[in-house]
């Protein structure tokens, strides 16, 4: 499980990158206008959709891509065993079949998962898709030369821990069986009720062995989705996709594929992307972005302009920004001190420092506010939106600090970052009112990340954030609170170094549950139980606000990704 946290964190980092530019319009009414834009203009096939992005779509190889739910652009080219439901809001957190006929048949204890392929599935060249090709891509994802993908399978598949990929070890993985061209069976070394959610990732896409060109495969991959790659320049900086004639909507109920061509241009400054989308001149009217949010100032400008405000999509990606404590450092070993800080926190000023109430929602639970994660509302330290300094002072007195306390808050110096100086300064001011003097220790971005993720150097009181690879409580709570996931040498995400047998056992018990709804309820209860220990203070959940072009229709934003789904967008 060593790698698991890294992966989840990386998704988090991507989310932060996206959120950096973030700004917003008032939530409720704006999503209404989004719906309107989609409804009264019926989407039609044809045209070219332009995607304006900041980050390049690097390593466009299904074995190397690290995606949540199969990704946005990748999902246009790669179909997977299962995929995310392409629907607005909470409905979009469901996992649905893609190449497979269902989301998987588990064995009784959820250690064996069996999938059958639909009929009539073809690659772009018309050859049939087989389960052997899916197995082959999974094996490729273990090859050191094709690194980058999610590490879960190495942990989960029987005997896969040291597998080096099909180039060095052509015998393949015995944990994956393909009894016939349409059946694939996975043998796991422990119960994993969330296997169908993992099967949305692009390592579960088919790659025909005969067409595999190793590290060059990303330039001309063989498409199983509605689009094929015309060109992929400079490692994903400019990708052009055209319609795949051998893809059929009859086998794919999820992707709408309205435009004939999709042109993905990256390396554009975030401010420029927002400026171009708001101006909407020429081709930019047919443009969207999949990685650039509106920033606070941009939101302020958009809010004052009705025509622009109607072109803002609002999304919720499951993410939590929080205060992390290391109880091994004094005085944070004292739960009363941690509770005092939890009471003193003023979420209003923290949220304002991060762009205001349209870009963030106050958090008192560690799990994001979505049923799929198991969200169960609770607030163990009810202090209201503005904090309760009087109660905090009382707790400090009980903790033995009647005259207040001086502590150091470690944060990232990157301006606008979710762990950045704006949040730290807002906390400093709020805690001052409660008699806690906060000294700020700002660290350079990479140094900060190294410092807080190493148990040797971890400070006592710092800022952190967490997002999950799929919408469930498992990848959200496990890496942060599972005592067996404490990593000694670095890449540790269990900030509190919490190793509570009752928590660990409950995590194991929930992983056995294959009914995701039932599991969600248990995750919610576990979150509440951990929350009472005050080893973290949840601050806020970011909200994504993104502009799209004037002629864009059928905007669908799921709570899985929080981002407009490119497979649903039409330009005509």
Partner 1 sequence: MPPAPPSGARQIWRRLRGRPAALTGGVVIVLLVLIAAGAPLLAAIEGQDTTSYHPGLVDSASGGVPLGHFGGISGSHWLGVEPGTGRDLFARLVYGARVSLGVAIGATILQVLIGVAFGLAAGLGSRWVDSLLSRVTDVFVVMPALILAIALLAVVPGSFPRPVLLTLVLGFLAWGGFAKIVRAQVLTQKSLDYVAASRLAGSSPWRTARRELLPALVAPVLTYAAITLPTNIVSEAGLSFLGIGVTPPTPSWGQMLSSATTWYQADSSYVLLPAVLLFVTVLAFTVFADGIRTALDPRAASRLRVGTRAGRRGAGTADSAATPADAASGIPGPADPRGGGAA
Q: Which is nearer to partner 1, 425 or 511 (CB)?
A: 425
Q: Which is nearer to partner 1, 312 or 526 (CB)?
A: 312
Rounded Cα gap, residues 292 and 290, in angstroms: 6
Residue 140 beta carbon to partner 1: minimum distance, rounded to whole angstroms:
40
Residue 157 beta carbon to partner 1: minimum distance, rounded to whole angstroms:
44
Q: Which is nearer to partner 1, 386 or 508 (CB)?
A: 386
Residue 98 beta carbon to partner 1: minimum distance, rounded to whole angstroms:
38
Contact 207, 133 (CB under 8 A): yes
Query: Taking Cα atoms as reference points, which of 505, 470, 493, 484 lies closest to residue 95?
Result: 470
Between 421-433 and 389-398, two packed helices, what is the crossing angle to 10 degrees? 70
Q: Which is nearer to partner 1, 82 or 270 (CB)?
A: 270
Q: Which is nearer to partner 1, 442 or 483 (CB)?
A: 442
Q: Which is nearer to partner 1, 180 or 444 (CB)?
A: 444
Residue 295 beta carbon to partner 1: minimum distance, rounded to whole angstroms:
6
Residue-wise DSSP of 365-428: SSS-S-GGGT-----SS---TT--HHHHHHHHHHTT-TT-EEEEEEEE-STT-TTSHHHHHHHH
388 vs 70, 336, 434, 481, CA distance in Å? 43, 14, 8, 27
Q: Is 416 left (phi over 0), alpha (psi -120 to 50) or beta?
A: left
Residue 12 beta carbon to partner 1: minimum distance, rounded to whole angstroms:
22
Rounded Cα gap, residues 145 and 131, in angstroms: 23
Q: Which is nearer to partner 1, 371 or 440 (CB)?
A: 440
Rounded Cα gap, residues 9 and 415, in angstroms: 20
Query: Taking Cα atoms as reference points, which of 226, 220, 290, 295 lies closest to residue 57?
Result: 290
Token pair, residue 151, equals 């590490």
Residue 425 beta carbon to partner 1: minimum distance, rounded to whole angstroms:
5
Name the 3-class secondary structure at 432.
helix
Residue 288 beta carbon to partner 1: minimum distance, rounded to whole angstroms:
21
Residue 314 beta carbon to partner 1: minimum distance, rounded to whole angstroms:
12
Contact 86, 568 (CB under 8 A): yes
Q: Which is nearer to partner 1, 58 or 441 (CB)?
A: 441
Q: Which is nearer to partner 1, 119 or 386 (CB)?
A: 386
102 vs 81, 117, 186, 226, CA distance in Å? 9, 9, 15, 20
Q: Which is nearer to partner 1, 444 or 508 (CB)?
A: 444
Name the 3-class secondary structure at 135.
helix
Measure the CA angle with vertex 550, ends 89 and 249; round to 5°.
55
Residue 213 beta carbon to partner 1: minimum distance, rounded to whole angstroms:
43
Query: Taking Cα atoms as reference points, which of 408, 517, 518, 400 lies closest to residue 463?
Result: 408
Residues that bind partner 1 (CB under 8 A): 23-26, 271, 294-301, 303-304, 346, 348-349, 351-359, 386, 413-415, 421-422, 424-426, 428-430, 432, 439-444
Contact 500, 179 (CB under 8 A): no
Residue 318 beta carbon to partner 1: minimum distance, rounded to whole angstroms:
22
Q: Is 148 left (phi over 0), alpha (psi -120 to 50) or beta?
A: left
Rounded Cα gap, residues 497 and 480, in angstroms: 8
- Burial category of 441 from C-beta neighbours within 10 Å (exposed 0-12, middle 13-18, buried 19 and up): middle
Residue 421 beta carbon to partner 1: minimum distance, rounded to whole angstroms:
5
Residue 367 beta carbon to partner 1: minimum distance, rounded to whole angstroms:
24
Q: Which is nearer to partner 1, 171 or 415 (CB)?
A: 415
Rounded Cα gap, residues 482 and 2, in angstroms: 12
Rounded Cα gap, residues 37 and 198, in angstroms: 33
Q: Which is nearer to partner 1, 20 or 570 (CB)?
A: 20
Residue 370 beta carbon to partner 1: minimum distance, rounded to whole angstroms:
22
Q: Which is nearer to partner 1, 102 or 386 (CB)?
A: 386
Residue 449 beta carbon to partner 1: minimum distance, rounded to whole angstroms:
15
Q: Which is nearer to partner 1, 299 or 569 (CB)?
A: 299
Number of Cβ within a 10 Å radius of residue 85: 18
Contact 571, 553 (CB under 8 A): yes
């Amino acid at each position: 499980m060593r790698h698991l946290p890294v992966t989840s964190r990386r998704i988090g980092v991507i989310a932060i990158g996206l959120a950096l530019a973030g700004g917003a319009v008032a939530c409720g009414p704006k999503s209404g206008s989004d719906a309107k834009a989609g409804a009264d203009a019926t989407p039609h096939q044809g045209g070219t959709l332009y995607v304006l992005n900041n980050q390049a779509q690097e390593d466009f190889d299904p074995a190397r891509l690290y995606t949540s739910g199969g990704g946005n652009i990748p999902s246009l080219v790669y179909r997977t065993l299962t995929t995310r439901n392409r629907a607005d809001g909470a409905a979009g957190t469901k996992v649905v079949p893609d190449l497979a006929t269902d989301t998987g048949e588990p064995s009784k204890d959820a250690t064996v998962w069996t999938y059958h392929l639909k009929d009539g599935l073809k690659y772009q060249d018309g050859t049939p898709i087989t389960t052997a090709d899916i197995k082959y891509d999974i094996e490729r994802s273990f090859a050191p030369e094709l690194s980058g993908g999610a590490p879960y399978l190495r942990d989960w598949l029987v005997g896969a821990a040291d597998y080096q990929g099909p180039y060095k070890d052509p015998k393949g993985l015995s944990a994956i069986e393909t009894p016939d061209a349409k059946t694939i069976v996975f043998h796991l070394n422990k119960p994993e009720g969330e296997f169908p959610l993992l099967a949305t990732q692009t390592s579960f896409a088919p790659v025909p062995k005969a067409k595999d060109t190793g590290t060059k495969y990303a330039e001309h991959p063989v498409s199983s989705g509605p689009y094929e790659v015309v060109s992929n320049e400079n490692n994903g900086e400019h990708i052009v996709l055209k319609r795949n004639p051998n893809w059929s909507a009859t086998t794919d109920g999820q992707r709408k594929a309205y435009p004939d061509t999709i042109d993905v241009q990256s390396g554009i400054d975030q401010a420029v992307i927002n400026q171009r989308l708001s101006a909407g001149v020429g081709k930019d009217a047919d443009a969207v972005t999949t990685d650039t949010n509106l920033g606070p100032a941009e939101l302020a400008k958009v809010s004052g302009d009705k025509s622009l405000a109607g072109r803002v999509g609002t999304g919720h990606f499951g993410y939590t920004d929080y205060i992390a404590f290391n109880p091994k450092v004094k005085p944070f070993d004292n739960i009363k001190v941690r509770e005092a800080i939890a009471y003193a926190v003023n979420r209003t000023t923290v949220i304002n420092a991060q762009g205001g109430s349209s870009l963030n929602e106050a958090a008192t639970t560690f799990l994001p506010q979505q049923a799929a994660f198991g969200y169960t509302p609770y607030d163990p330290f009810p202090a209201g939106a503005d904090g309760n300094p009087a109660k905090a002072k009382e707790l400090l007195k009980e903790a033995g600090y009647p005259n207040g306390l001086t502590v150091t808050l470690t944060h990232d110096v990157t301006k606008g970052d979710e762990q950045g100086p704006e949040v730290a300064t807002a906390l400093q001011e709020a805690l001052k009112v409660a008699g806690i003097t906060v000294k700020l220790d700002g660290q350079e971005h990479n140094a900060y990340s190294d410092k807080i993720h190493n148990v040797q150097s971890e400070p006592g009181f710092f800022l952190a954030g967490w997002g999950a690879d799929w919408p469930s409580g498992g990848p959200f709570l496990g890496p942060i609170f599972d005592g067996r996931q404490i990593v000694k040498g670095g890449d540790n995400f269990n900030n509190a170094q919490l190793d509570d047998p009752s928590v660990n056992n409950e995590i194991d018990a929930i992983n056995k549950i294959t009914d995701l709804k039932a599991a969600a309820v248990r995750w919610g209860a576990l979150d509440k139980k951990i929350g009472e220990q005050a080893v973290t203070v949840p601050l806020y959940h970011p909200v994504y606000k993104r502009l799209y072009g004037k002629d864009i229709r059928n905007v669908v934003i799921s709570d899985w990704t929080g981002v407009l789904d490119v497979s649903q967008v039409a330009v005509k």
